[in-house]
Amino acid sequence: MLLQNYTKSERPVHNDEDIVKVDVFLEMFKIIELDIQKALLTSKVVLGLSWKDIYLLWNTTMKNITYISVNVDDIWYPTVSICNDMSGKFSQHEGEGATVKYDGSVSLHMDGIFQTHCTINMLKYPLDEHECNITVCLGHQENIEKTMQSFSFNNLHNAEADKWEYKFAVGNVTEKEIISASVTIFAKRKFMSETLTYFIFPIMLTILNLGVYLLPAESGEKVSVAITIFLANVVYLTETAKVLGTKSLGMSMYLLYLLILTLVSGFSTLISIIGCRIAVLSTAEIDKDVILTQG
């Protein structure tokens, strides 16, 4: 009976110039993945909307019912989206999309998995910090017919088992070209036992690079050791570059150190080859002189 004469295409206002005020609530249910190679944050969020609908009123004393559930497709509702989403959409529970109270208050909750853009900064890797945003927007409108009255955020994600530590900052509602509000997510890599491994291998390569100069050219192993260390540097540099990706604002100091270390290793290999060649020629010359002297 409530929806018998209801027109869902008509805004729930008394006058055409009135604006529908929408309260928006965003809840972070779970952060699934932070992909630094693609600069994307994958998360499951719940979006809550509430507004007043003057056409959905009834007297509770007569029917003794304070609220009902209706299909969201049967009523007017504001178009809201995650406007910086790369893929995904909100899902609504059919038949239970919206809750309507006797005073015309309508609440709607939707959930979805989204991928939003992140600003990647690998400068301090492996103690890197990144910044992601989730922005909620009202649908584009030529004339302001609805606005975001308030915006709130709640985090339910448990990051104890994650390798990232998350902090959240809630922004204000902006009313420029598009009415929007956003949550900024700051992700900092936790210092764990795994983090130590990022330092151990470069340190060992540095020591081995210096060790090449301690080997005598006459030992016969100087060149092979230098080449082996150089190839290890190249492989580790290549794999690290793949892990860090190409989305960072600036070059990682860690990657820069590995690049310099690889260049030094290559120079050491070249010096070793030349040194061993000179040692071989010197030994051959000495042997020749000895033979001539004995002859």
The pTM for the full model equals: 0.82
Report the C-alpha gap between 36 and 14 in whole angstroms.
50
Pair (39, 139) in one structural domain: yes
88 lies in some domain: yes
Pair (164, 126) in one structural domain: yes
Pair (180, 206) in one structural domain: no
Pair (198, 185) in one structural domain: no
Pair (258, 134) in one structural domain: no
Residue 106 — very low, low, confident or very high, per pLDDT cuts 50/70/90? very high
- Boundaries of domain holding 113: 22-189
7 lies in some domain: no
User: Is the pLDDT assigned to residue 294 strictly greater than 70?
Assistant: no
pLDDT for position 24: 94
pLDDT in tens, 172-226: 988 877 889 999 999 999 988 888 889 999 999 999 988 888 888 766 688 888 9
Pair (70, 172) in one structural domain: yes
Averaged over 277-288, what is the pLDDT?
A: 64
223 lies in some domain: yes
C-beta of residue 221 within 8 angstroms of C-beta of residue 279:
no
pLDDT for position 285: 58
Residue 38 — very low, low, confident or very high, per pLDDT cuts 50/70/90? very high
140 lies in some domain: yes
| Residue where a domain terminates, one of 134, 162, 189 | 189
| Residue where a domain terminates, one of 189, 223, 242 | 189
Pair (58, 159) in one structural domain: yes
Pair (147, 258) in one structural domain: no
Pair (63, 204) in one structural domain: no
Pair (172, 201) in one structural domain: no
pLDDT for position 95: 47
Pair (114, 201) in one structural domain: no
Q: In CATH, what number is assigned to the domain containing residue 59?
A: 2.70.170.10
Q: Residue 183's closest CA among 35, 293, 82?
A: 82
User: Is the pLDDT assigned to residue 264 strictly greater than 70?
Assistant: yes
Report the C-alpha gap between 148 and 135 in whole angstroms.
13
User: Is the pLDDT assigned to residue 247 strictly greater than 60?
Assistant: yes
Q: What six digits make up the tokens of 142?
A: 């030529």
Report the C-alpha gap between 282 and 287 in whole angstroms.
9
pLDDT in tens, 56-89: 988 877 668 888 888 888 899 888 888 888 876 6
C-beta of residue 76 within 8 angstroms of C-beta of residue 12:
yes
156 lies in some domain: yes
Pair (138, 267) in one structural domain: no
| Residue where a domain terminates, one of 169, 189, 209 | 189
* CA separation, residue 151 to residues 71, 109, 180, 182, 186 (Å): 24, 14, 9, 9, 19
15 lies in some domain: no
Report the C-alpha gap between 125 and 258 in whole angstroms.
12
12 lies in some domain: no
User: Is the pLDDT assigned to residue 284 strictly greater than 70?
Assistant: no
- Look at the chain and report how many structural domains it folds into: 2
138 lies in some domain: yes
